[in-house]
Structure 1
Amino acid sequence: MRWFGFGFNAFGQIYDHDKLSKSEKIGTDEDVKVSSPLELTTGTDCCSKSVRIKASWSRRASLHLGGESCLCLAGFGAVTSTESSGALIKHSRGCTDVYISESYLTLAFPDRVEAWDLQKEEKTPSWSEEIRSQSETSGPPLSLPLVSGGYIAMKPPLYRSLSPHLKAKSLALSAAHAILLTASGAVFTWGLGSHGQLGHGGLTSEEEPRVVEALWGMSMTSVAAGGWHSVCISDGGDLYVWGWNESGQLGLPSRGLRKALQQQESGTPVLLLNYRDFSNTE
């Protein structure tokens, strides 16, 4: 699988500034911002061709799966903290999933989950927990940041419990809010709500998961979280967005469509388009 990156690149999380040829540098600010999709280089000693990419604001983790899997880090701290990054890569041998934030790197293994502090040169993880194998549990396998009984947060306490009644299928985290998809296709959000990112029709925060009533009755298949906005896709391929849109991050004009803006400001999910129709969009 080929991966491409674009956007903020001040820390080299998309490409190494020094290794990019002059002909590939289009503008003077190209080191800071990649305006067009650029294929990611995931060079490693691993022979695996199956790569899973996870990213935070300033870092990128490339997990090479198959055989004895391994992890490569790019971005902030990956070069200046060589010893620390090397230790993390060494301890990643055999992991099956990865999740990275600005402070912690979480690794999932067949028998355990570990969280490493990226700010420290640790020889042992900051947090770890044994997990049961898939043959001992019911339901589909969980992907990070979900773990058995809860999820791994971006800051301590790293482990947060979730009610088993939610039957979580996937979870997306931003720095201050969370969006959860259940096995039945319902969407729950909680955390900071100051920019309408929770989708509850207001700007208040929520301490516990609360269902997004505007989406009730429509089955969703995936969710994602931005800094102050949220996204989900329905079974039928409809893309719903809500939250902060100052820079047009919702894919809608930041000014002009009064009705859409009113819905965004109230924190109500807006149907953007059917993502299966991208090929027909000019």
Structure 2
Amino acid sequence: MTRIISSLAEVSAAYDALYCDLWGCLHNGRAPWPAAVAALKAFRATGGRVVLMTNAPRPNRFVEAQLDRMGVPRDAWDMIVSSGDAAQAGMFSGMVGRRVYHLGPEKDLGFFTEVPAEFAGAPTIERVPLEDAEGIVCTGPFDEMTETPEDYRATFLYAKAKGLKLLCTNPDIVVDYGDRRIYCAGALAALYEEMGGTSLYFGKPHPPIYDLARRRLAATGVEVESGRVLAVGDGFLTDILGGLAEGTDTLFVTGGLAAEDFGPDVEAPEPALLQPWLDARQISPTWAIGRLR
């Protein structure tokens, strides 16, 4: 049974590293939550490593710049591993061809221009119109503030007829931007699969992003056993399922995407509401907390 805790400090001594989600845990898309920042700083002060693990469809350098603009202090984390990082490896390996159609906003162009060092000598990836493409790279809707997956049904019918694979750089279905809920690349990839197309995933809950996190920790001289890692997140289908599949303990932040299901106080989920919600999904996170603190 999942135990509700009031602070990360209650259980942090059992872990050497955190795989901590961003949206819904550390920030709301516009500003960080001070209590979450303080919790991560306190964990690092005891020698723990904080890996910010995000399904953002951009290389980590762009995520870092976004966090800087929000005012997230650098001493709250050790490294950033993004879905964009893991998906880049798939793209530059040629998993959807070398001539690709980019489905996504211009803010994600760094996904194509920031070539990882290990692929510096790889053949060029060219962005082309859909009719000339060998595959699709999806970083989200063109206009995430107004569009829904249904806006792309005609595009996907054409892509499916051409037999194109879709590389999904962000498996999240939705995120909350301030008080607004917006669709992510995962929602588009799910629709494409529903229509009979093939989608490839690299972020949480899929293995590539966790493999990348382990490699990057090892590169700093840190080898962490799965049992000493805590996966923290508000995305039940991404953060929690991904952590469980990797053999790590999990901390479900109930005050994120599913906050309205657990009572009026976002900081204090009601056990009588939380446990049936978890039972219906037949999976139990190790811990639960209203907001990361």
Q: Going by fraction, where is strand more abundant, 1 or 2? A: 1
Query: What TM-score does the superposition give when structure 1 sets the normalisation length?
Result: 0.27
**Could you say which structure has the larger radius of gyration?**
1
